[in-house]
Amino acid sequence: MTLSNLDIINECDSFPYPYTDPALYNASLSTYYTLRIPDCNHDLGYMLPSVATVFDNVPNWSLDHDARTLTLTAGTNASERSAAVHQTLLALRQTGHFKVLDKWRDELYGVYGPGRELLFSVERSASPLFGIVTYGVHMNAYVRGKDGELKIWVPRRARTKQTYGGMLDNCVAGGIAVGETALECLVRECAEEASLPEDIVRERVKSVGCVTYFHIRTEKAGGETGLMQPECQYVYDIELPEDVVPKPGDDEVEEFYLWGVEEVREALGKGEFKPNCGLVMVDYFVRMGELNAENEGDLIEICARLHRRLEFPTL
């Protein structure tokens, strides 16, 4: 079966909507626990009961089964809270309780409150356990031939990767660490993943907005399934000279292909793209006019779903 463009969106933006399936949405919320800190009247993430209950009677955490909340009680500032979270996660990693912690990255993601205040930081691999909003960058790289034909650079993820091994990706993508700007993250990832010279990236790259979605992890992601992953991805485009060829700069990318639009759309239809990369590629085709009101009957729904309003504070 060939996936439609809306199917591709649905695979990535898979958390139920209150107005399209209120019964499923309400049933989901009644199941999950919410992540909180004292004196902040906003939920910071949704957690599976199987995850939240592991924190019962753990120092610096308070689990309320009646309210279905998990509250980080330690600290009065970001530094103190971050230290408490890190101590807990190190202990959980040593016990081997959560499979996602096997992919420990030593990279910190920020958890933000109202007014974009940094509340605390969390190890990247643990972010799906808490269901917090995470941030990243995705870049589409393309060339225009002498005949004007659009061709797109598409990498294949290393088949040895624990997450989405062997699937297709956007040319460059990566998570934004605490204290890092989106552009600096992109420049770093361009060097690491695609061996693109910094001067060319800074000169040619264009910021083209962002996409937001709420993903529920499946077995493709590795580790526990059903973990929640709301994300904001800053999107960039770059037109590369024909003589600039992306090359794997680390062990995360196996090879790069230079494909025409129809080749990319065929791979999308076969489900070969990592879910959020497929969503970013659909966004790209909308912006480039390849998907429009004449050839895509679900265009309005697709455009709305590319920019989901998340239920937690964001930057």
pLDDT digits (tens, 9 = 90+) for 240-289: 999 999 999 888 899 999 999 999 999 999 999 999 999 999 999 999 99
Q: pLDDT tens across 83-108, in order?
A: 999 999 999 999 998 999 999 999 99
Q: Number of folded domains in the chain?
A: 2
Asked whether residue 297 is domain-assigned, the answer is yes
Asked whether residue 293 falls in the same domain as residue 157, the answer is yes
Q: How many residues does the chain have?
A: 315
Identify whether 141 is part of a domain: yes
Query: Within a domain: residue 225?
Result: yes
Domain range for residue 186? Answer: 5-14+133-305
The verdict on 116 and 163 lying in the same domain is no
The residues, any chain, with a CB within 8 Å of residue 72's CB and separated by 6 or more, are 35, 36, 37, 60, 61, 81, 84, 85, 120
pTM: 0.96
Residue 65 shares a structural domain with residue 93: yes
Quick one: 54 and 171 in the same domain?
no
Q: What is the pLDDT of residue 182?
A: 98
| Residue 249 maps to a domain | yes
CATH number where 70 lies: 3.30.750
> Within this chain, do residues 173 and 87 fall inside the same structural domain, yes or no?
no
Residue 315 lies in a domain: no
Query: Is residue 162's pLDDT more than 80?
Result: no
Which residues have CB under 8 Å from 302's CB, separation 6+?
5, 6, 9, 282, 286, 291, 296
> Does some domain include residue 96?
yes
Q: Which neighbouring-strand residues pair with 34?
A: 46, 69
Q: Clarify whether residues 160 and 230 are in a common domain.
A: yes
> Are 121 and 158 in the same domain?
no
Could you tell me if residue 204 is inside a domain? yes
Q: Are residues 146 and 276 in the same domain?
A: yes
Are residues 278 and 146 part of one domain?
A: yes
Final residue of a domain: which of 96, 130, 164?
130
Q: Which of 113, 130, 147 is the last residue of a domain?
A: 130
Q: Tell me, yes or no, whether 49 and 186 share the same domain.
A: no
Report the CATH number that the domain containing residue 164 is assigned in CATH.
Answer: 3.90.79.10
Q: What pLDDT, on a 0 to 100 scale, did the predictor assign at position 146?
A: 79
The answer to whether residues 146 and 242 belong to one domain is yes
On whether both 151 and 112 belong to a single domain, the answer is no
Mean pLDDT of 208-220: 97
> Which of 130, 145, 167 is the last residue before a domain boundary?
130
> pLDDT tens for residues 187-203?
999 999 999 999 999 99
**Nearest in space to 140 (alpha carbons), one of 269, 7, 290:** 290
- The yes-or-no verdict on residue 186 having pLDDT over 90 is yes
Question: Which amino acid is located at 35 in the chain?
Answer: L
Q: Does residue 48 belong to any structural domain of this protein?
A: yes
SS3 142: strand
Q: What is the DSSP letter of 271?
A: T
**pLDDT number for residue 147:** 84
